[in-house]
Chains A and B, each alone.
Chain A
Amino acid sequence: EAGVTQFPSHSVIEKGQTVTLRCDPISGHDNLYWYRRVMGKEIKFLLHFVKESKQDESGMPNNRFLAERTGGTYSTLKVQPAELEDSGVYFCASSQSTRDEQYFGPGTRLTVT
Chain B
Amino acid sequence: QQQVKQSPQSLIVQKGGIPIINCAYENTAFDYFPWYQQFPGKGPALLIAIRPDVSEKKEGRFTISFNKSAKQFSLHIMDSQPGDSATYFCAATDYSQGGSEKLVFGKGTKLTVNP
Are A and B associated in one complex?
yes
Spell out A's residues near B (CB within 8 Å): 4, 33, 35, 40-45, 48, 55-56, 58-59, 91, 93, 98-99, 101-107
* CA gap between A55 and B108 in the complex, in Å: 27
Q: Which residues of A contact B105 (CB under 8 A)?
A: 35, 42-44
Q: Which residues of B contact A103 (CB under 8 A)?
A: 43, 45-46
B41 CB-CB contact with A under 8 Å: yes
Q: Which residues of A contact B115 (CB under 8 A)?
A: none
Spell out B's residues near A (CB within 8 Å): 2, 4, 6, 36, 41-46, 89, 95, 99-108
Residue contact B43 to A48, C-beta cutoff 8 Å? no
Q: How many A-B residue pairs have CB under 8 A?
A: 60
> Pick the contact of A48 from B2, B41, B46, B102 — CB < 8 Å?
B102
Additional A-B contacts beyond A42-B89, A43-B105 (16; CB < 8 A)? A4-B43, A35-B103, A40-B107, A41-B107, A42-B2, A42-B108, A43-B108, A44-B105, A48-B102, A56-B99, A58-B100, A98-B100, A103-B46, A104-B44, A106-B43, A107-B43
Q: Which residues of A contact B101 (CB under 8 A)?
A: 98-99, 102
Residue of A nearest to B6 (CB): A42
Residue contact A98 to B99, C-beta cutoff 8 Å? yes
> Pick the contact of B45 from A33, A43, A104 — CB < 8 Å?
A104
Q: Which residues of A contact B103 (CB under 8 A)?
A: 33, 35, 43, 45, 102
Residue contact B46 to A43, C-beta cutoff 8 Å? no
Residue of A nearest to B4 (CB): A42
* CA gap between A48 and B1 in the complex, in Å: 21
Q: Which residues of B contact A43 (CB under 8 A)?
A: 44, 89, 103, 105, 108
Instruction: Say yes or no: A101-B43 contact (C-beta < 8 A), given A41-B107, A55-B100, A56-B99.
Output: no
Q: Smallest distance from the beta carbon of A98 to chain B beta carbons, Å? A: 5
Residue of B nearest to A4 (CB): B43
